[in-house]
C-alpha cells in the first residue's frame, strides 16, 4: 500500500474541484503536491495525462521523482511534469502547484497584459502584480524557463496563450490562490471597462509586499 495515500487523494480532490469550478475543461490542467521523503529525495504526486478527473482514482495519481521518473502509479504523469518539478526546485516553501485555464485570467494571458497590483488581497495572497510568461509550447523546457522567470517570488503567473499557474505552501493555499487570481482578473477587466485605475498608495503597497515576502520568501 502506498505511503502517500492522503497526499495523492489531496491532489485528486483538488483536480476534481478545479474542473467543477470551471477552471479547466475536459482533461486539461494538472495538479501536484510535494511529498516528504526521508533522505531528502525530491518526490511529488501529480495528476496523470489526458484523463478526465471524475474517471480516475487515488491510485491513478502518479508519484514521480525530480528526475521525472515514475515511482508509483500505472498511468503516465502529466506532460507538464517538468514545470511542476521546476517550481519545486526554485521555490523551497512551495508544496503544491496548480496549472489551470480559468477564463478571465486566460484572457490576460492571450492579450499579453500583466495584471498590476490593484487590490490589497491580491498582494497579500499572490505577491503583487501578475506577469505573463513568454509563449512556449506545452511540456517544453522553454515553458518551464519562461514560467519560472515570470513567476519569480510570487504565487501566480500567466502563461501566454495558455492559462495560469498558482502555487502555495499547501494545497488549500494553492487553490485559494487560483480563486484569488481569477477574482483579480475579473476586477481588472471591470476597471479597464470603467477606464480609471486608482493604484494602491506606494507606502502601504510596500508594507503589504514586505509582509508577503516575509511569509512566502525562501530566504531565512
At 50 the pLDDT is 92
Domain ranges of the chain: 5-216
96: left (phi over 0), alpha (psi -120 to 50) or beta: beta
What CATH topology corresponds to 5-216?
A: L-fuculose-1-phosphate Aldolase (3.40.225)
Using CA atoms, how far residue 209 sits from 28, 117, 126, 153, 164, in Å, is 32, 10, 10, 11, 21
Amino acid 219: pLDDT: 57
Query: Which H helix or E strand runs over 126?
Result: helix 120-126
d(CA 45, CA 203): 41
Q: How is the beta sheet containing 70-72 ordered, strand by strand?
A: 70-72, 62-65, 43-46, 30-35, 96-100, 163-168, 156-159, 132-133
Residues in the chain where the model's pLDDT stays below 70: 1, 38-39, 219-220
What does the pLDDT read at residue 173?
Answer: 98
Which residue is it, cell 518526490? 43
Contacts of 197 (CB under 8 A, 6+ apart): 116, 118, 191
**Nearest by Cα to 45 from 4, 86, 17, 106:** 4
Confidence at residue 181, expressed as pLDDT on a 0 to 100 scale: 98
pLDDT at 220: 44
pLDDT score of 38: 65
pTM recorded for the entire structure: 0.96
Amino acid at each position: 500500500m502506498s505511503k502517500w495515500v492522503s497526499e495523492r487523494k489531496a491532489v485528486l480532490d483538488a483536480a476534481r474541484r478545479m474542473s467543477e469550478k470551471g477552471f479547466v475543461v475536459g482533461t486539461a490542467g494538472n495538479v501536484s503536491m510535494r511529498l516528504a521523503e526521508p533522505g531528502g529525495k525530491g518526490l511529488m504526486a501529480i495528476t496523470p495525462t489526458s484523463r478526465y478527473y471524475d474517471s480516475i482514482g487515488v491510485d491513478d495519481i502518479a508519484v514521480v521523482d525530480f528526475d521525472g521518473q515514475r515511482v508509483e502509479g500505472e498511468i503516465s504523469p502529466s506532460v507538464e511534469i517538468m514545470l511542476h518539478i521546476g517550481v519545486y526546485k526554485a521555490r523551497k516553501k512551495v508544496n503544491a502547484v496548480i496549472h489551470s485555464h480559468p477564463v478571465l485570467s486566460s484572457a490576460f494571458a492571450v492579450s499579453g497584459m500583466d495584471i498590476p497590483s490593484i487590490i490589497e488581497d491580491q498582494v497579500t495572497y499572490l505577491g503583487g502584480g501578475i506577469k505573463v510568461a513568454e509563449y512556449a509550447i506545452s511540456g517544453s523546457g522553454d515553458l518551464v524557463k519562461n514560467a519560472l522567470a515570470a513567476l519569480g517570488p510570487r504565487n501566480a503567473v500567466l502563461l501566454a496563450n495558455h492559462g495560469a499557474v498558482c502555487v502555495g505552501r499547501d494545497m488549500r493555499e494553492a487553490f485559494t490562490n487560483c480563486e484569488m487570481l481569477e477574482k483579480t482578473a475579473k476586477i481588472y477587466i471591470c476597471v479597464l471597462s470603467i477606464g480609471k485605475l486608482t493604484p494602491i498608495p506606494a507606502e502601504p503597497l510596500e508594507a503589504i509586499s514586505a509582509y508577503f515576502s516575509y511569509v512566502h520568501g525562501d530566504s531565512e
